[in-house]
Chain A
Amino acid sequence: MTVPLIGRIGALVIATTAFYTYVGQMVPQKEVQPPAEVVVKGDLSTADMAKIGREIMEGKGLCLTCHTIGKSGALRFPDLAGVDGRAKSREPGLSDIEYFAQAMYEPNANIVPGFNPGMPTINKPPIGLNDREILCVIAYLQSLGGTPTVTLQTKHQYNAGAATPSQGASPGGTQPQTPLTGEKR
């Protein structure tokens, strides 16, 4: 009762392949969907902006692939917990909003000491957030260690002209929003 050679080799090939497939089933299974489009409407309150900002950071913006919030130890990229407190004083002459905007529009202009440059420009592909989405992200960043003050009408050095058309296009975007305080969140 001997198995023919072809049968034995075939069994070996199938068994090996099956084993690797099995290994493939043992690891965590995660399906990554393409990022969902977050529609940023013109009449968001600052608190809502921060909420959307958080969603963008987790999803489309891919921020949390690299950045951590509230982690210490050997980090590859700056931790963002309480970042607003640092952003206010990091660059002389830049407010926290301006600093955050610079960090996203020109990420290599200012590298946090002890880290490697490596952040992509956020308003360009592959990430390609638009100006409003970036304002939402700034709102969330301000809420880390501070109180968000940014609104969709906020101007900074990178959107001084660019934000106008999108503002006009949205209904209800004309009334200025009063900044909400942190405890309402």
Chain B
Amino acid sequence: MKVPIVLAALAAFALLRLLRVNLLVWAGAWWLGIYLLLRFGFTAPIPSSVIMIYMGIVSLAILAYVSSSQPRRDEVAGPLVRFMTEKRYTPLLAATVVAIPALAAANVYVRMNVPVEPPLFSRTVHPASPADITVHDKRIDLDAGENPFRHLEASDPQEFRRHVENGRRVYYQNCVFCHGDTLAGNGMFVHGLDPIPTNFADAGTIPMLRETFLFWRISKGGPGLPDEGGPWDTAMPAWENFLKEDEMWDAILFLYDFTGSRPRGREAGTK
């Protein structure tokens, strides 16, 4: 949303109101005003294909309005006829005649001159996890399961710290290259990756997820994503091939500890 443009358009409308301008000017102003509103008046911009549909409707409606009665037709036709017939407007008329194909050409240029974009794939960023997975021949229930060391946080803080420290070691030996020193998803390999690694410091990421979901993503990585998560070029390896189960759980503890966030609890009654 671009507030200055919208405000400017509103001011222009107020000015037109004061000047008591001709209907033709009003018609043009409404057309432009609605275009500006659609283009800049929304926080999430409206795609140009939809704007085109809307502007087509607006054009039809304005045309219908200005020609809907004799006085209106006269009011609109008057200036146009004067413009085209009176001597003093001849240079302007000539300019207009030149400008129309020039505008069309400019439009073509603008439309052609867009950056090349990859085709759009729709993908689910957080696909639903399976109910259970098998890691190192052990079945892990992702729905009902918990981080086996999370309970230590209350019962044995010292032991809990030890696990977190172990997680820190795991993280800085393995994950740091992509996910970054401060876990902000800006490690040194980031520039070669698309999609970029998750920024754990973002409140929209790990605090919204359960620890078991993280465990699934870490252990199975990109290859373990279900079909609807694709086409997925993520470089995330399947860490079960490199890490022990406990190491992965510890790393998860570290992620939450470092960012100071809490994992999402298990909802009762879902599914």
- Give chain A's interface residues, CB within 8 Å of chain B: 54, 69-71, 81-82, 84-86, 143-147, 181-183
Contacts and interface: CB of A to CB of B under 8 A. Distances in A.
B14 interface: no
B10 interface: no
Given A70-B128, A81-B127, A85-B271, A147 B134 contact: yes
A82 B227 contact: no
B159 interface: no
Given A54-B227, A82-B271, A70 B134 contact: no
Contacts of A85: 130-132, 143, 271
Interface string B210-247: 00000000001000101111000000000000000000
A143 B128 CA distance: 12
Interface residues of B, number: 17
Contact of A146 (B127, B130, B227, B228): B130
A146 B131 CA distance: 6
Contacts of B228: 69-70, 81
Interface of B: 124, 127-134, 143, 220, 224, 226-229, 271
Given A70-B128, A145-B131, A146-B130, 17 more contacts: A54-B227, A69-B227, A70-B127, A70-B229, A81-B128, A82-B129, A82-B130, A84-B131, A85-B130, A86-B271, A143-B130, A145-B128, A145-B130, A146-B132, A147-B132, A182-B134, A183-B220
A145 B129 CA distance: 7
Given A70-B124, A70-B226, A82 B131 contact: yes
Contacts of A145: 128-131
28 contacts: A54-B227, A69-B226, A69-B227, A70-B124, A70-B127, A70-B128, A70-B226, A70-B228, A70-B229, A71-B124, A81-B127, A81-B226, A82-B129, A82-B130, A85-B131, A85-B143, A85-B271, A86-B271, A145-B129, A145-B130, A145-B131, A146-B130, A146-B131, A147-B132, A147-B134, A182-B130, A182-B133, A182-B134
A82 B128 contact: yes
Nearest to A82: B128
A182 to B, nearest CB: 6
Nearest to A51: B227
User: Does more than half of chain A's interface fall in helix, strand or loop, or is it mixed?
Assistant: loop
Contacts of B226: 69-70, 81, 144
Highest count of chain A CB atoms <10 Å: which of B133, B134, B226: B226
Contacts of A82: 128-131, 271
A86 to B, nearest CB: 6
A144 B127 CA distance: 11
Nearest to A86: B271
A107 to B, nearest CB: 21
Contacts of B124: 70-71
B43 to A, nearest CB: 20
Contacts of A70: 124, 127-128, 226, 228-229
A182 B127 CA distance: 17
A44 B226 CA distance: 21
A85 B132 CA distance: 8
Contacts of A143: 130
